[in-house]
Structure 1
Amino acid sequence: AFGWASTLDIGATGVHRLVQALAWPWHALWPAAVPDLSLVEHSRFRHERPLGDLPGLSGQWWRFLLMCLLVYVLLPRVVAYLWLRLRLVRAQARLFRQDPCLAGWWQRLHLPLAERRSEPVHHAPPESETTTGTTEHALPPIDHLLCWNQWQPRWLETARARLPQPLAGQDCTPAEGWPAQRGAAVLLLCQAWEPPTGELADFCERMQNAQVTVYLWPMPLPGMPAERAAALHRSWELFMPQLPACCHLLELSTDED
């Protein structure tokens, strides 16, 4: 049972207008949940009649009370939860995009587990047993002068000063654009301080297919200490077993004549 009372000077008509305003969101969907004026008048609480004029009508307020709980209590909480949840998701996504540490951590959590297995190590045969990566200490007959990567003019001049004529007078052609000539012998100037890469190995494979003999000269920077130059040359010696048999490593003196 439900009854209403007020200490204000307000009658059933005023309360009915208030009830209609509260029931406006659902008045078209559920008209039975909108109390009429008669129900409001007969359910007013009085001390002499606690249940109103017609006690049987007091139980008809349940539809209105139920809709008030749903619309004004439950629905705002659901809407607020969904709105705050959406803002939280967007804030997390923005944080993951802006913070590289969190982005990497989140990616590791969602990627499948990867297993890594070590492959057996095959040791390279000793230099006495291999036919690749031989080191030449004297300059053999050369047909063309090539250079690997970009060279500054002063570096090329330093390299030419250590080469005999007429090789020293040749233009240094970029190796990437040189058309391979079958049976030729080329001197490939390399920058000793730059580690050898897979692109260089691919170039040597093409020269092997064209039957071109390649002499690699990893030239150190002018003025580089001898210990540093020797260490760089050893790193190139370790790279030579990966190259085909047409490639040979040169070890020429870099001292001024």
Structure 2
Amino acid sequence: MPGHLETLLAFDRQYQRDQQQSPAFLHRRDRRYALDRGSNQAPDMGHWLAQLQALNETATVSYPPELRFWQRFASAFVSLGALLGIVTMSGLLFYDGGQQINITVILGVILLQLVLALITAIQGLAGWQPWAPLVHSLQHRLEKRQPSPALMPLFGPMMARTAQAAGLAFGLTGLVTLLGSVVLQDLAFGWSTTLETSAEAWHSIVSWIAAPWSGWLPVATPSLELVSDTRFFRLADTTPGTDSARWGAWWPFVAMAWLTWTILPRLLLLGLATLDLRRKSRRALRHHPGYPALLWRMETPAVETGSDTTDSGQLPADASTDTVPVPDTPLIVCWAGASPQGVLTETSAPPLRAGGSQSLQADRRTLADLASRRGPGDRDLLVVTRAWEPPTAELEDFLEEAAMQFPDITLTLLPLATTPTRRPADQQLAQWLRFADRAGQGIRVAATDNGEANHVQH
């Protein structure tokens, strides 16, 4: 899966689909994946979901609609932030020729943006969701669906990331507007305040603001003389004797203050919000109700012994103790290391192997080899097993896949005793007859008895 949120939503959809499957089927499927993956490797949810899609157990899923909504919402929010950046900076730089652009107002906007960025970061880290009802209502109106329960705990971090991105767009477009205005207009900056503030006090304030770049960019650090020369009062004329070029000398300071205290904090906090969202999405996956169950299925062997009922030593009530004769067929598969001794003739082709230590891919190659070996008149597939070993879920999966690939073929199980020419004990045959009866697919059970066999089909 391409991302952490996509993986979480895909896992949640798979979990909802798995509610319709039997626990035994889920156990066989996930245990088989764990065995093929290797016991020393931690489960990878992205790889597990991709494997299910590769096996056609799940339909190919398009981009999650919940994330499509958030993409559109975030794009609209960022676009609005960019537009507000242009409008705000244009308003701050408005100059009618009769009054200077007040640096105090620009610094106030920078401080406001810094405070909003910090509040947004705290809201995201704490998981507060003050805007959740409004966004959920918008999603229900536009998407005609309720928000995914899997995303509900992540709404706070997702909203924080979106807001930080919008704030970053605000800062960038504001800076571009400032630089464009510097090139295209003759801007006159100054500072003014109603408070009784001396030039020395104001110079100490702007020097503190310029501290991050004062050592390597002195041109963007206002001097005391510049501060003294560019103070103005709203109803007074421009100070006599002040050089006109002095009023425009503030622009490097304004640009660096905007870059340092508006854009950079938003950029850093956007990265922090992204990391926090990734961390919380991984935690949401671990806390998902389907995650512990999946890990249990992967770590716990799926073995059906057939001996957990009171009639484990008996045949099914509707079954006979008789079995079918061993079919004469070149299509023979030895399961989990079973020996075909006593079954093959001199003209028989070498048997194919499946199960046991073989991987799922190797079992599929065996079925492909059967397809290439099969002749026009071959209608039987013989699977040789050990009678004293209980049938496993992996064998049932192999037979199901064989039945799907060869719908016109008859599947026959041949449980062999330690002496291949002797008939296995009735208790051993009982588990195989129950297994064939439960698995369906028209599976038959054959048994040797000194070269003779009886007939009954299951």
**Which TM-score applies when normalising by structure 1?**
0.47
Which structure has the larger Rg?
1
Structure (1/2) with the larger helix percentage: 2
Structure (1/2) with the larger strand percentage: 1
